[in-house]
Structure 1
């Protein structure tokens, strides 16, 4: 697997884990179009890699992501003023396409959230399979206070916290910390900033014990529940179950259980 060259991301592969760090600390890792494009290319590079078990996404300099880059908005404004009627549409929709891509990653997506988790950063938090937050992280949807919409992240916020809570957060621009984010179901675990790395290590250790192919199939099945009729989901689930039971992982899992040992995949992350 060849990782792309990047300007605004730090990429590091460690066995079955790809660490992606948003790296614009002077801008609190505001999401530029360059960063969006680099994330898309990074996700493309690993989407079909069966040896990749997790992607860890975090930010440099004590912040996750403070939202969209105002400079890119100014560029889109200039393009629109020059007669490009679709400039704002392309600018906004590219971020949503990246969220769709990240949401559908076969590997487990773990977001480590600290400092600013605003706007687009909030959207990324909403598509994490596992979201770990610092207790003093600051979450919010400030878009309407700026006269714009949380357009591309809105569906993912609704899926994460429900329509009732999403309406309140989006329509008031409320700010809240990591503990409230956990209470509302936006994140799964909360720790002090100093304890986040330990929490990440524990999460990756738990992931070691889950079979890679079974995890990928389970994630795909869970996502299908949002878009397919129940009978189709259950038919596919039965087929996937049969394939798993008769496959290499099913045989190894059964044998490991009988022999009272860890399955071989537990040593491969």
Structure 2
């Protein structure tokens, strides 16, 4: 059962949505929610080439940026705290810390069941891989606990419990771990869930989707629909998942990941494409 959630805060729009979702889940499951505002002081104060005589100016500029980042994060943390109180979340903690975001989250996540992270959180770090900020890539790649990736959206409503869930399941170890973790955390209970399976022949896909559906029903899902595609699929699995996410109005997609060497290896092409393009929240586990 979901008992504790860690949400990373940096003030980006997707981070704001992540905090809203974390608080919503905290209220729904009576779970503890910890919001950490992260100031990436190492990046802000990183060594850079400067012209002769420019060291003092560079140092002053870095200090100014650091002070601004601290003020911004303090405001983000205060807003999270106020929102938690307003929404009646009984158990929560907020604090601001300095350091490497990936390292901080790795250390703090040990005490939690689930990590919530804005897909476009940047933590003041430039650069991206496959249109995902490098810091977010590293957290997804290295975090052994399930991670919720929340995209930016024009819709401010964080509520996903009123929307269907899509489970992308192909019977692989990675997708099985994601499926079981999602069920064991109690997140399947009371949900409408569509299990999408692409696995060789349509008959095999039907069988695998049905088995996954039976598991979800035993964990309290109220309306589970197995969708075995196999050789009936028209287009790529990613296109199918993204298309169904849109047509069904799904609020969450559950997927597995694998590997340990970077986002090109950790995700198959299907998961990588869904990560980049999905308008729904992603539940990722590997």
Which structure dedicates a bigger proportion of its chain to helix? 1
Assess same fold via TM > 0.5.
no
TM-score norm. by structure 2 comes to: 0.28
Greater per-residue strand proportion:
2
